[in-house]
């Protein structure tokens, strides 16, 4: 036994960890992309340990789920601020630990070091995991799977030692898993699979007989686990609104599950052949509304073949194969849209289920040499070749995640008709100052979603930044037609018209905004600027006074009022407007403007 353990430590663990790290190394230099803005950049409650009370919902804060993810990101922020390298590094560390646990569990279930090593190596390098490991927001899946597997590994030790201490660890890691991502709620089912595999292996029983034996023996344990999972699901639905009240995909329950069948077949295909990988699958799967849809026929054929193959493997492979086959579908249950969710499919959904797939592949590769003498060398060589090809695929896909633009450009090549990708790529281009390319993306998006007034306004602002003021005016005009009460559209239209020297129409646009929101700052401030440039000082002063009195006036609003009062020769009123600016709001740039105005006032009004 000691010799066996030393071999595992010297060869298995280092090889597994190396395989988990090397294909992802080039992803460490990537930046924040896609949902990273919401999960990291603007998620201030995860910005350092000082926010722990807010994270736990103390005081006026609101408690939210996935606290494990936020705690881990607190550590990232504490060590490196908003340096994306730190976030990428910890994602990779957690992936390496998860891969090692795949090896540990596979070895414990199969009793075969070679099968465990092949399975863990496949899990380590699989390209479908890029969406979880290289994508910083994938932390939820990597970390919850790490806790999930830690719970299963502890449960294995509990069954081996009968020590309640290990069962306590299994429960603790299970709680950590579900508090990192709700998909880990099936962890009690994984404990059942452990007992199922051990029972089937020890007594040569089939799935049904082994399940009956295990459930009869340990019904209190699994009943408690099922009850805890049910209560957790109710909590997520009632208090965290995880389901979000999304209707069935396709508009009916039959359409929902026919569509899910197509999605599941696609996910299964990605495990075997990870090509055409996508960050966002919105709009990729059109709802299946008819049982005569050929996509449904193909999907059912794929799923049927997979079910037959799984049954055959269970008959031939016993408890270990039983564990892998049932793990694959059981861990995918939370995203089968039994409770519909807005996101129909994402590759990070496969991170946890793929453990079962990789275990089965490892068992198959380990047994190939025993089937024929000629396979003793050919099978390991073929296995290594497959791993290298997958590792290269992972390395190549990591490059997509270099920054917000590269990941979306790669996405657009595969799904050019995705409206969300066009819109997000437009925002990414704009963030890099590539306004002409951003405007082109916005136009493509608006052809697909013409009623999105917010995007049209942003496109108009981008056109103005790109120097195409006429296009900006036209886009804002269309916004005002589609949404006559949209304040931002009227303000943007007025600014565009003013840039085109159409002062009368610009004034009309700003006045329309003032009618819509008489207590808002922008309409009155824009009118004040227009009047000041048109040499109408009294009207400018009155407009700026309304702007200062508005409900959303910025601290520096008084500066324009002071300028208008000074233009009218009202020195005391100008001084009063400046004095009303809060000292704490005075930035270096604002201080310079105030100083320049004071000097101008001294020249006009004297040193007083």
Alpha helices in 111-206 (DSSP H): 113-125, 130-133, 139-161, 164-178, 187-203
pLDDT at 440 over 80: yes
**DSSP H or E run through 318:** helix 294-330
Per-residue model confidence (pLDDT) at position 575? 85
Helix axes 521-533, 537-548, angle to 10 degrees: 160
- What pLDDT shows up at residue 2? 39
Q: What is residue 589's predicted lDDT score, i.e. its pLDDT?
A: 79
Q: pLDDT, tens digit, for every residue of 233-278?
A: 777 666 556 655 688 998 899 999 999 999 999 999 999 999 989 9
Pick the range with the lowest mean pLDDT from 125-139, 220-234, 305-319, 342-356.
Answer: 220-234
- Indicate whether 562 pLDDT > 50: yes
DSSP assigned state of 248: P
What pLDDT sits at residue 241?
60
Give Cα 555 to chain centroid, integer Å.
Answer: 36
Contact by Cβ (8 Å): 401, 28: no
Q: What percent of the chain has pLDDT over 90?
A: 55
Exposure on the CB side of residue 465, measured as CA atoms within 13 A: 17
Q: Is the predicted pLDDT of residue 457 greater than 50, yes or no?
A: yes
- Measuring CA to CA, how many Å separate 400 from each of 122, 130, 408? 22, 10, 8
> Please, are residues 493 and 509 in contact by the beta-carbon 8 Å criterion?
yes
pLDDT > 70? residue 342: yes
Q: What is the pLDDT of residue 243?
A: 57
Question: Which of 298-302, 311-315, 457-461, 523-527 has the weakest average pLDDT?
Answer: 311-315
| Residues 387, 23: Cα–Cα separation, whole Å | 10
- Please tell me the predicted confidence (pLDDT) of residue 5: 44
Arithmetic mean of pLDDT over the chain: 88
Whole-angstrom Cα distance, residue 34 to residue 425?
10
Distance CA 79, CA 48 (A): 9
Three-class SS state of 36: helix
Q: Over pLDDT 70: what percentage of the chain?
A: 94
595 or 24, higher pLDDT: 24
Mean pLDDT of 186-205: 83
Q: Work out the pLDDT band at 573, boundaries 50, 70, 90.
A: confident
Cβ atoms of 91 and 138 within 8 Å: the answer is yes
* Residue 273 DSSP one-character state: S
Cβ neighbours for 566, distance < 8 A, ≥ 6 positions apart = 574, 597, 600, 601, 604, 605
Lowest mean pLDDT among 59-73, 189-203, 243-257, 362-376: 59-73
pLDDT, tens digit (0-9, with 9 covering 90-100), for 379-418: 888 889 999 999 999 999 999 999 989 999 999 988 888 8
Which 3 state secondary structure label does DSSP give 123?
Answer: helix
**Separation CA 192–CA 608 (nearest Å):** 85
In angstroms, the CA 254 to CA 271 distance is 26
pLDDT at site 236:
65
Is it the case that residue 202 has pLDDT exceeding 70? no
Specify the DSSP class assigned to residue 449: -
In what helix (H) or strand (E) does residue 441 lie, and over which residues does it extend?
helix 435-448
| Mean pLDDT value across residues 439-454 | 93
Q: Greater confidence, 61 or 511?
A: 511
Place of tokens 């025993």: 370
Sorted by where each starts, the structural domains of the chain and their CATH numbers stand as 2-400 (no CATH), 416-515 (1.25.40.10), 517-608 (1.25.40.10)
pLDDT at 586: 74
pLDDT tier for residue 101 given thresholds of 50, 70 and 90: very high
Written as six digits, the tokens of 284 are 């990729």
Instruction: Tell whether the model's pLDDT for residue 197 goes beyond 50.
Output: yes
pLDDT given for residue 256 in this prediction: 94
Question: What mean pLDDT do residues 212-240 have?
Answer: 74
Distance of alpha carbon 187 from alpha carbon 164, whole angstroms: 18
**Coil, helix or strand for 83?**
coil
43-81 pLDDT, tens digit each = 888 898 888 887 776 755 555 678 899 999 999 999 999
For residue 27, count CB atoms less than 10 angstroms from its CB and return exposed for 0-12, middle for 13-18, buried for 19 or more. Answer: buried
Is-contact 411 441, C-beta < 8 A? Answer: no
């Amino acid at each position: 036994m000691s010799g066996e353990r030393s071999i595992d430590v010297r060869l298995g663990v280092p090889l597994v960890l190396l395989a988990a790290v090397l294909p992802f190394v080039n992803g460490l230099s990537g930046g924040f992309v896609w949902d990273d803005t919401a999960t990291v950049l603007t998620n201030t409650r995860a910005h350092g340990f000082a926010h722990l009370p807010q994270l736990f919902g103390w005081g006026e804060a609101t408690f939210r789920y996935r606290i494990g993810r936020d705690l881990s990101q607190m550590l990232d922020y504490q060590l490196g601020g908003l340096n994306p390298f730190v976030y990428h590094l910890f994602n990779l560390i957690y992936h390496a630990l998860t891969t090692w646990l795949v090896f540990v569990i596979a070895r414990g279930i199969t009793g075969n070091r070679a099968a465990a090593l092949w399975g863990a190596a496949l899990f380590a390098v699989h390209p479908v995991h890029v969406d979880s490991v290289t994508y910083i927001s994938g932390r939820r899946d990597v970390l919850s799977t790490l806790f999930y597997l830690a719970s299963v590994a502890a449960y294995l030790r509990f069954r081996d030692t009968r020590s309640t201490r290990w069962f306590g660890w299994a429960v603790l890691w299970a709680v950590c898993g579900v508090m990192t991502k709700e998909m880990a709620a099936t962890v009690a089912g994984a404990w059942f699979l452990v007992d199922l595999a051990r029972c089937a292996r020890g007594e040569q029983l089939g799935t049904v007989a082994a399940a009956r034996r295990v459930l009869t023996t340990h019904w209190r344990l699994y009943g408690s686990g099922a009850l805890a999972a049910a209560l957790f699901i109710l909590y997520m639905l009632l208090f965290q609104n995880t389901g979000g009240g999304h209707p069935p995909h396709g508009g009916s329950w039959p359409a929902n599950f026919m569509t899910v069948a197509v999605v599941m077949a696609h996910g299964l295909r990605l495990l075997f052949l990870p090509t055409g990988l996508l960050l966002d699958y919105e709009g990729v799967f059109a709802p299946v509304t008819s049982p005569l849809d050929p996509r449904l026929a193909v999907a059912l054929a794929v799923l049927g073949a997979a079910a037959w193959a799984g049954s055959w493997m269970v008959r031939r492979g016993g408890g270990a194969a039983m564990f892998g086959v049932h793990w694959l579908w059981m861990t995918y249950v939370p995203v089968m849209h039994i409770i519909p969710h807005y996101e129909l499919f994402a590759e990070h959904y496969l991170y946890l289920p793929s453990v079962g797939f990789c275990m089965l592949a490892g068992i198959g590769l380990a047994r190939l040499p025993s089937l024929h003498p000629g396979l003793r060398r050919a099978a390991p060589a073929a296995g290594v070749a497959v791993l290298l090809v997958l590792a290269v695929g992972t390395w190549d896909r990591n490059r997509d995640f270099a920054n917000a633009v590269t990941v979306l450009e790669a996405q657009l090549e595969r799904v050019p008709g995705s409206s969300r990708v066009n819109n997000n790529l437009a925002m990414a281009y704009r963030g890099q100052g590539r306004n002409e390319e951003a405007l082109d993306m916005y136009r493509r998006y608006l052809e697909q979603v013409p009623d999105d007034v917010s995007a049209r306004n942003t496109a108009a602002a981008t056109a103005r930044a790109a120097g195409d003021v006429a296009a900006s005016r036209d886009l804002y005009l269309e916004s005002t037609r589609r949404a006559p009460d949209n304040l931002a559209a009227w303000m943007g239209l007025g600014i565009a018209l003013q840039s085109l020297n159409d002062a009368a129409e610009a004034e009309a646009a700003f006045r329309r905004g003032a009618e819509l929101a008489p207590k808002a700052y922008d309409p009155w401030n824009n009118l004040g600027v227009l009047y000041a440039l048109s040499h109408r000082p009294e009207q400018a002063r009155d407009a700026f006074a309304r702007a200062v009195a508005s409900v959303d006036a910025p601290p520096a609003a008084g500066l324009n009022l002071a300028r208008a009062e000074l233009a009218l020769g009202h020195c005391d009123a100008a001084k009063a407007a400046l004095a009303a600016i809060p000292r704490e709001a005075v930035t270096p740039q604002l201080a310079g403007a105030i100083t320049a105005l004071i000097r101008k006032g001294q020249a006009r009004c004297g040193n007083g």
